[in-house]
């Protein structure tokens, strides 16, 4: 598109808006791609006040839910709370139009007189933050339609408060979709869809997480629309809209007493069983390897040998480099008593004999994920230094046990599991960034690129975050080539952090576009005691993974 900003309108019921919406609007207002030029507010309609007993009678079937949420507030209060109310007028000073609506069967329509007034403002996108289901010419009053959030998926009751039924039904994932309503109002275009691990303890925390994770979606798609232009933007959406979508608007309804009682009972029963199990068993990250003698050797994980750490620590994140006939496996080693990771190395010969790990790099802050890269005859390590708010590159001075900080590649960043791949003369850094409040470290995959490994400037990819799903974003090992194709291992955190892995084929990687497709899923299902696996690396004839296993505290 041109350099002219997109003109955004907001459809609201009130000036007091949830904190997560307030922060989303701040992002839009501070961007170089969009500006909010119009507020369309639904007129307040005063209603006769109901008596306390009348209100109580109407809400009798919601009693358990309301009592439980009050109890939960004393046990857990989100900070910051996504639903705290903020005044929209503190950050918006644009034109306002107050409209009367005609409501029919839960649908709101706006008068033609008000529609004519709205059209004079040449709005590009309306963001629906209020009103009931919209119908009529308001859907035709902006160039790119009305955008709105829809929470839940086909398995959830869409009329329940966002993030509630997913937890009560013990679903593994909580979904949010950004939609564009069509002129017919019942069909729509899917602009973006994302899934997040359902919190298994607090209803309010699951909803809070979901709202914070929703806040980036509108700004991201507005930026993309501005950058690509209309034709390319909607062409890109064709793949995720292969199946037609119907938008079914329903007002949120509080879960019934039975739904609440059953759901909460199941959650606490599961938590109780977990407490009992943890008295006898504990979960530990361990290493598994396969040393192949031929290309046809079995690669099934149930044939991998285990390297079990002492019970006072765990071993994870194996990265391999081969020198002569010896493999050197760099790992994260963490003693439970210290709760701080350090980088260790163990050696393995071509027969599979190995040494015990020894520490080679330790800092005052946590280290993990010892990614290795060679450049111009030098060996470097890019361990995770998220706790220090940096991405740091270490140079090997004496192999394998002497390393010195060479350069801080990026400062003031919350990034994990940085992985670099060299292509077309450029270094491409894949890393998960906690860019948005409440997003955590498993959802947002960002790419930065540079002409030199030791460059002072790493350029963020214009499509960042290029992946925004907790089941396929966070790096899980070296990006590798196979049969002329490029593959990126990623963590699958759909069940819990580090649950499994996905292998993605990178189909496009350049300064403007990134595309990948999932080609394989790896689940921890090859042994009953294996609960997770989240790193995969291969070098020569040796393949290493890590896994969480359940071990008895006392043999």
The per-residue pLDDT for range 533-552, each reduced to its tens digit, is 999 999 999 999 999 999 99
pLDDT at 1 over 70: no
CATH topology of domain 6-50+74-254: Rossmann fold (3.40.50)
Q: How sure is the predictor about 244, in pLDDT bands with cuts at 50, 70 and 90?
A: low
**Nearest by Cα to 487 from 537, 434, 445, 437:** 537
Residues whose CB is less than 8 angstroms from the CB of residue 178 and which lie 6 or more positions away in sequence, other chains included: 147, 148, 149, 150, 190, 191, 192, 193, 217, 218, 221
Domain ranges of the chain: 6-50+74-254
pLDDT reported for residue 296: 43
CA distance 117 to 120: 6
pLDDT at 162 over 50: yes
| Per-residue pLDDT reduced to its tens digit, 509-534 | 999 889 999 999 999 999 999 999 99
Q: At what angle do helices 63-75 and 203-214 cross, to 10 degrees?
A: 80
Hunting for tokens 């001075």 — which residue is that?
397
Specify the higher pLDDT residue, 86 or 274: 86
CA distance 485 to 489: 13
| Per-residue pLDDT reduced to its tens digit, 201-229 | 788 888 888 898 888 889 989 999 998 89
Highest mean pLDDT, choosing among 27-31, 256-260, 371-375: 371-375
**Nearest by Cα to 391 from 468, 320, 458:** 458
Summary mean pLDDT of the chain: 89
CA distance 100 to 42: 6
345, 337 Cβ separation under 8 angstroms: no
**Nearest by Cα to 383 from 358, 357, 365:** 365
Structure tokens at 498: 């580090």
**Nearest by Cα to 425 from 453, 447, 445, 446:** 453
H/E stretch holding 232 reads helix 230-237
CA distance 128 to 11: 5
Compute the average pLDDT of residues 248-256: 71
Q: What percent of the chain has pLDDT over 90?
A: 60
CA distance 425 to 433: 24
H/E stretch holding 90 reads none
Q: At what angle do helices 230-237 and 217-228 cross, to 10 degrees?
A: 130
| Per-residue pLDDT reduced to its tens digit, 488-506 | 999 999 888 899 999 999 9
pLDDT reported for residue 155: 53
352, 292 Cβ separation under 8 angstroms: no
pLDDT reported for residue 180: 92
Specify the higher pLDDT residue, 1 or 143: 143
167, 267 Cβ separation under 8 angstroms: yes
pLDDT reported for residue 66: 85
Q: How sure is the predictor about 295, in pLDDT bands with cuts at 50, 70 and 90?
A: very low
| Per-residue pLDDT reduced to its tens digit, 420-444 | 999 999 999 999 998 655 556 788 8
Specify the higher pLDDT residue, 244 or 410: 410
- Residue 215: HSE in the Cβ half-sphere, 13 Å Cα cutoff: 24
CA distance 82 to 86: 10
In DSSP terms, 140 is beta-bridged to: none
pLDDT at 48 over 60: no
Within 5-123, strands assigned E span 6-12, 16-18, 34-42, 85-87, 95-99, 101-104, 107-110
pLDDT reported for residue 277: 85
Q: How sure is the predictor about 298, in pLDDT bands with cuts at 50, 70 and 90?
A: low
46, 17 Cβ separation under 8 angstroms: no
| Per-residue pLDDT reduced to its tens digit, 327-346 | 999 999 999 999 999 999 99
72, 203 Cβ separation under 8 angstroms: yes
CA distance 216 to 538: 36
308-312, 313-317, 438-442, 509-513: which range is least confident on average?
438-442
Compute the average pLDDT of residues 398-417: 96
pLDDT reported for residue 213: 83
Is residue 508 classed exposed, middle or buried when 0-12, 13-18 and 19+ CB atoms within 10 A define those classes?
exposed
In DSSP terms, 551 is beta-bridged to: 282
């Amino acid at each position: 598109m041109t350099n002219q900003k997109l003109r955004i309108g907001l459809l609201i019921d009130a000036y007091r808006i949830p904190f997560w919406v307030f922060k989303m609007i701040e992002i839009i207002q501070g961007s170089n791609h969009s500006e909010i030029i119009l507020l369309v507010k639904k007129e307040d309609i005063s209603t006769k006040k109901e008596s306390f007993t009348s209100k109580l009678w109407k809400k009798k079937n919601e009693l358990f839910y309301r009592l439980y949420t009050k109890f939960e507030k004393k046990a857990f209060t989100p900070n910051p709370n996504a639903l705290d109310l903020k005044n929209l007028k503190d950050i918006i000073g644009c034109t306002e139009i107050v409209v009367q609506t005609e409501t029919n069967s839960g649908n709101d329509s706006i008068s033609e007189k008000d529609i004519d007034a709205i059209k004079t403002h040449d709005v590009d996108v309306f963001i629906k933050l209020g009103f009931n289901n919209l119908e009529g010419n308001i859907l035709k009053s902006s160039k790119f339609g009305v955008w709105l959030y829809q929470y839940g998926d086909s398995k959830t009751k869409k009329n329940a408060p966002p993030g509630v039924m997913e937890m009560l039904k013990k679903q593994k994932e909580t979904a949010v979709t950004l939609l564009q309503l069509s002129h017919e109002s019942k069909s729509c275009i899917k602009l973006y869809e994302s899934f997040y691990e359902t919190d298994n303890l607090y209803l309010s925390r699951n909803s809070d997480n979901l709202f914070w994770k929703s806040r980036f979606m509108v700004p991201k798609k507005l930026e993309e629309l501005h950058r690509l232009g209309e034709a390319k933007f909607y062409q890109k959406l064709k793949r995720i809209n292969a199946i037609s979508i119907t938008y079914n608007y329903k007002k949120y309804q509080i879960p019934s007493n039975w739904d609440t009682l059953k759901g909460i009972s199941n959650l606490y029963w599961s938590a109780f069983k977990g407490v009992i199990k943890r008295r006898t068993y504990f979960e530990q990250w361990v290493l598994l390897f396969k040393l192949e003698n031929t290309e046809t050797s079995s690669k099934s994980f149930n044939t991998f040998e285990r390297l079990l750490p002492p019970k006072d620590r765990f071993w994870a994140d194996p990265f391999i480099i081969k020198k002569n006939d010896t493999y050197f496996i760099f790992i994260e080693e963490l003693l439970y008593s210290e709760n701080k990771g350090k980088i260790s190395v163990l050696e393995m010969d071509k027969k599979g004999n190995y040494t015990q790990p020894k520490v080679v790099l330790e800092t005052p802050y946590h280290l993990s994920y010892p990614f290795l890269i060679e450049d111009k005859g030098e060996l470097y390590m890019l361990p995770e230094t998220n706790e220090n708010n940096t991405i740091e590159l270490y140079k090997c001075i004496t192999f394998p046990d002497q390393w010195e900080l060479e350069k801080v590649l990026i400062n003031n960043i919350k990034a994990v599991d940085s992985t670099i791949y060299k292509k077309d003369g450029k270094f491409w850094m894949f890393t998960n960034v906690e860019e948005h409040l409440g997003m955590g470290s498993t959802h947002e995959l960002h790419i930065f690129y540079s002409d030199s490994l030791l460059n002072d400037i790493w350029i963020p990819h214009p499509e960042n975050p290029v992946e925004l799903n907790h089941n396929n974003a966070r790096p899980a090992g070296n990006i590798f080539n196979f049969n002329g194709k490029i593959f990126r291992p990623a963590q699958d955190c759909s069940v819990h952090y580090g649950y499994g892995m996905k292998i993605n084929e990178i189909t496009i990687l350049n300064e403007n576009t990134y595309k990948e497709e999932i080609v394989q899923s790896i689940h921890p299902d090859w042994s009953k005691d294996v609960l997770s696996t989240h790193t995969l690396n291969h070098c020569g004839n040796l393949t290493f993974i890590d896994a969480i296993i359940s071990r008895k505290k006392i043999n």
